Chains A and B, each alone.
Chain A
Amino acid sequence: MKPSVTYLDHAATSPLLPVARTAMLEVLDGTFGNASSLHSPGHAAQNIVEDARSAVAKLINASPEEIIFTSGGSESNNTVTETFRGQKIAVSSIEHPSVLESSRARASEVIELPVDQFGRVDMGEISHASQLGVNLFSIMLANNEIGTIQPVSEFSRALQASDKPVYLHSDATQALGKIKIDVQALGVDYLTISAHKIGGPIGIGALYVRQGVPFKPLIIGGHQEHLRRAGTTNTAAIAGFGAAAQWCWDNWSCKKWVEVATLRDQLKSRILQTIPYSSCNSPDHGCLPNILNMSFRAAEGESIQLYLDADDVIVSTGSACASGDLEPSHVLMALHHDAEIAHSSIRFSFGLETTPADIDRVMSVLPKIIARLQGMSTIKLGESHEKPR
């Protein structure tokens, strides 16, 4: 990527940490062995995998044997819904598609829990659903498009009071490394994480599975991961994941992100003050430190994104997974029930290397882009019930 580029799409993927790259190269260049083999190169690979498993487990306060390596967040989420195939699953309406669609494909019934204007699931909805014989709740720890953090520990306490056996899964893909995650404190039974959101490589993730809870493998036909996930162990990627997890632990990454949140808030207030008909879709409180989702009335999201791209500012519309999809973001629709607001949205997502100069860079180009798009738009501003900010 050109050095002049302002990259604000870290929620899509983040740059590989140098320590992760080094760990991977050591495996790729040196440790040639199948981690399942009994011979010494195989055993060396197995040691690397187990060290990485310990580092990942430590980051979320789990035991290493509760960590199953997968190909990423989508596989981890699919593994959980496969475990509850034919049963009743309750999900928030703003889950990642790998939870929403795999639940719809596998559950006997899916209950979609509504969210409020900030993207939060109401405790009353959880309590109500738990009375309907739900077997699994899947509530993401933090949303990928708007950054809303769900009070998952409160949900787990409410579910523990239930007289029926009910399990709780949380997709923590976006939250990992950004906020402190403690699976004991959260009270979850399953937790999805992914390496490339914390500076590890793409193509590796993990599923935390609490000891003693139901589990059914998604991929069978091999004894790897203690018969919980078949397939030749991806030693190099796991080494990169482990190194990135260890880096987050050693560097107190969650504390560093607090400074990023200050930059995020600066961009938010500058946009709201400068750009007419802008609005913020991310909550003021209880939001990941690195995500800012804004809407600009009468300016369509993809056009904003590509005009910014032409000016070397990289952002996304909603989630990258949804690009190529013409439907408005299901997350913003769940919040506002307004397709125009949803179509007119942009997600800025920050990294630890984001600087105040990056914010200045955005503000040097964004107001002109929005003014142009609003000026050429068929949507007339000023005639709406909404007032300009």
Chain B
Amino acid sequence: MKNQGKRSNEPHNFIVAQNTQKVNSSCASNQSTPSNSSPSTYSGPSWVYSEIVKEHFLSPRNFLMGDESKYPYDAEGTVGNPVCGDQMRMFLQIADGRIADVKWKTYGCASAIASTSALSELVKGKTLDEALQVGPVEITKFLGGLPQHKFHCSVLGHEALAAAIANFRNQR
């Protein structure tokens, strides 16, 4: 991932909004791009993550605990790989062309869990086309920003949803 986020005063290279340039999420590479955070004496949040990320991580919404066979879903999509450190799976219940309900499973870091949690809130009730418009930038904005090296988590979330929707449409 290129260091493309706008320079901000936030610590830890937060990306609040980012160009929708395609980010390779198949396996996030070791991002050794030099830090561009501005030096500051700050008394910011206690974590590297925003309070919203923290809240979604500590109290994730709509996750599917345990065996997914107990959840009657119409479509599912999986992206990522545990070998890369992140894997996400979205399960959709679809009625009248809308996402009636959504559940997810994630293996990954706090921002991966928060991204899938946020996404599940963002797309519930939307039509499939509307849901596909919820991209990494929208997820990241909703979360109050993500550290630059964690932006790929929002990309993975979007791709998991897109894979689930494609899975549904391919069934037709």
- A residues with a Cβ closer than 8 A to B are 298-300, 302-303, 306-307, 309-310, 324-328, 339-340, 343, 372, 375-379
Contact = CB atoms under 8 A, between A and B. Distances in A.
A376 B47 contact: no
Given A324-B149, A340-B83, A343-B82, A378 B89 contact: yes
A379 B66 CA distance: 10
Given A326-B30, A376-B113, A300 B105 contact: no
Contact of B31 (A309, A326, A339): A326
The listed residue with most B CB atoms (<10 A of its CB), out of A302, A309, A377, A378, is A378
Interface stretch (B56-64, B93-101, B125-133, B161-169): B56-64
Contact of B87 (A299, A302, A372, A379): A379
14 contacts: A300-B112, A303-B110, A307-B58, A326-B84, A326-B149, A339-B83, A340-B83, A372-B65, A376-B60, A376-B63, A376-B64, A377-B106, A378-B107, A379-B82
B109 A303 contact: yes
A340 B80 CA distance: 12
Contacts of B28: 326
B115 interface: no
A377 B60 CA distance: 13
B78 interface: yes
Interface in B49-85: 57-58, 60, 63-66, 78, 80, 82-85
The listed residue with most B CB atoms (<10 A of its CB), out of A324, A326, A327, is A326
Nearest to A338: B83
A213 B23 CA distance: 50
Interface in B121-172: 147, 149
Given A375-B65, A378-B88, A302 B149 contact: no
Contacts, number: 68
B5 interface: no
Contacts of A298: 107
Given A325-B30, A326-B85, A378 B109 contact: no
Contacts of A300: 85-86, 107-109, 112
Q: How large is the interface on B (under 10, 10 to 19, 20 to 34, 35 or more residues)?
A: 20 to 34
Contact of A303 (B29, B57, B149): B57
Main secondary structure of the interface of B (DSSP, over half): mixed
Nearest to A324: B149
A343 B27 CA distance: 13
Given A303-B108, A324-B147, A377-B107, 11 more contacts: A298-B107, A300-B85, A300-B112, A307-B58, A326-B31, A326-B84, A326-B149, A340-B82, A340-B83, A376-B105, A378-B88
A378 B91 CA distance: 12
Contact of B106 (A309, A343, A378): A378
A378 B78 CA distance: 9
A327 B109 contact: no
Nearest to B12: A324
A327 B37 CA distance: 21
Nearest to B58: A310
A324 B60 CA distance: 23
A300 B80 CA distance: 14
A327 B149 CA distance: 11
A3 to B, nearest CB: 17
Contacts of B112: 300, 303
A339 B30 CA distance: 14
Nearest to B105: A378
Nearest to A377: B107
Q: Which 7 A-B pairs have CB atoms at the shortest separation, nearest pair first?
A: A302-B109, A339-B83, A378-B87, A377-B107, A343-B85, A375-B65, A340-B82
Contacts of A299: 107
B171 to A, nearest CB: 21
A306 B65 contact: no
Nearest to B27: A326
